[in-house]
Amino acid sequence: MAGERRALYLEARSRPRPVGEPEGYARGSAIIPADPVLVVLLFSTLAAATASAGVVPFAVLGRVPMRALGLAYALASGLMLGAGYLLLEAGLKDSAQSAFVLMSGAALGVLYTYWIHRFSRTEEVEFIPGGEVSAELGFKIVLMNSLHSASEGVAIGAGMAVSLRMGIFLALSLALHNIAEAATLTSVLLRRGVRMGEAAMLCVITNVPQILLAVTAFAVVSAARGLLTWVLGFAAGALVYLVLTELLPGSYKQASHTWVAAAVSLSTGLVVLLKGFFA
């Protein structure tokens, strides 16, 4: 049995890894444009634009219960944890770099996010606040959403550098994640007296860093392939830390522990499962 595992492990390690160019970008394909950077730009923009759908429940229902927002956040947490799983799995398959490099990158991602929270003084900000929202809190939540989306951009860029399919899959997962996030942002903005259309626009604007960082991360990793494992680790570490410090505490406050746990497990499992079919 141990020998079998060893063989599987060696097989995974010796699998040839594309050097220089990520796999899946067929030149001149009818559906996918030839320029990889354009693909990254398109899909990260799609993920950012999807955030505007966050206002839909408010436009249709008028009010959305806090419990539903808490659960949406739990689902978003799971999508993000699933993305983290995929990034780490891809990083472990990289034969050129050791797992130490991957985990050092992850530690950097965790510490980077920790410092970002500290410097912006958003460590203990309530992400899904109930009741009145002060102008300062509203500003901090918009700020946090923008900073948060930057790390998602790194994840999309790194995923695209692994393979086109993985990049698209990550972009779609994070697009869904963005809807839930935008819904909570919308609930905050509406309470601050922002109009529906403007709220939708702000939801997209807070996700613009995602587009910028996706393209930047992709360009950097394409230019210096050796950095891929570092960037994969960094993105995974940042995403996991964001889930732990921003998303989950808010979910637990607004919805029952059982439902939050069920939603997180379900959406994480779905990402891991669908990745098997898609990427």
Per rule CB under 8 A, count of chain residues that contact other proteins: 41
Q: Among residues 9 and 139, whose Cβ is nearest to other proteins? A: 9
Choosing from 55, 106, 162, 215, the residue that interacts with other proteins (CB under 8 A) is 106
- Give yes or no for residue 58 binding other proteins (CB under 8 A): no
Name residues contacting other proteins, limited to 135-194 (CB under 8 A): none
Cβ-contact 211, 45 below 8 angstroms: yes
Q: Which burial class, exposed, middle or buried, applies to 143 when counting CB atoms under 10 A from its CB (0-12, 13-18, 19+)?
A: middle
Choosing from 20, 27, 193, 257, the residue that interacts with other proteins (CB under 8 A) is 257
Q: Find the part of the chain contacting other proteins (CB under 8 A) among 45-53, 63-71, 101-109, 203-211.
A: 101-109
CA–CA dist 195, 164 (Å, integer): 38
- Give yes or no for residue 237 binding other proteins (CB under 8 A): yes
Shortest distance in whole angstroms from residue 83 CB to other proteins: 14
Cβ-contact 238, 111 below 8 angstroms: no
CA–CA dist 230, 188 (Å, integer): 35
Choosing from 110, 174, 176, 215, the residue that interacts with other proteins (CB under 8 A) is 110
- Give yes or no for residue 273 binding other proteins (CB under 8 A): yes
Q: Among residues 42 and 261, whose Cβ is nearest to other proteins? A: 261
- CB-based contacts of 218: which residues, under 8 Å, 6+ apart? 36, 37, 40, 157, 158, 160, 161
Shortest distance in whole angstroms from residue 242 CB to other proteins: 9
Choosing from 24, 117, 151, 170, the residue that interacts with other proteins (CB under 8 A) is 117
- Per DSSP, the chain holds a count of helices (H) and strands (E) of 12, 0
Least Cα distance to 164 among 13, 32, 17, 14 occurs for 32
- CB-based contacts of 143: which residues, under 8 Å, 6+ apart? 120, 122
Least Cα distance to 49 among 239, 197, 218, 178 occurs for 178
Q: Among residues 40 and 102, whose Cβ is nearest to other proteins? A: 102
- Give yes or no for residue 244 binding other proteins (CB under 8 A): yes
CA–CA dist 149, 37 (Å, integer): 19
Shortest distance in whole angstroms from residue 168 CB to other proteins: 19
| The residue type at 54 | G
DSSP state of 245: I
Q: Among residues 55 and 235, whose Cβ is nearest to other proteins? A: 235
The residues that touch other proteins, with contacts defined as CB under 8 A, are 1-2, 4-5, 8, 85, 88-89, 92, 99-100, 103, 106-107, 110, 114, 117-118, 123-124, 237, 240-241, 244-245, 248-249, 252, 257-258, 260-262, 264-266, 268-269, 272-273, 276
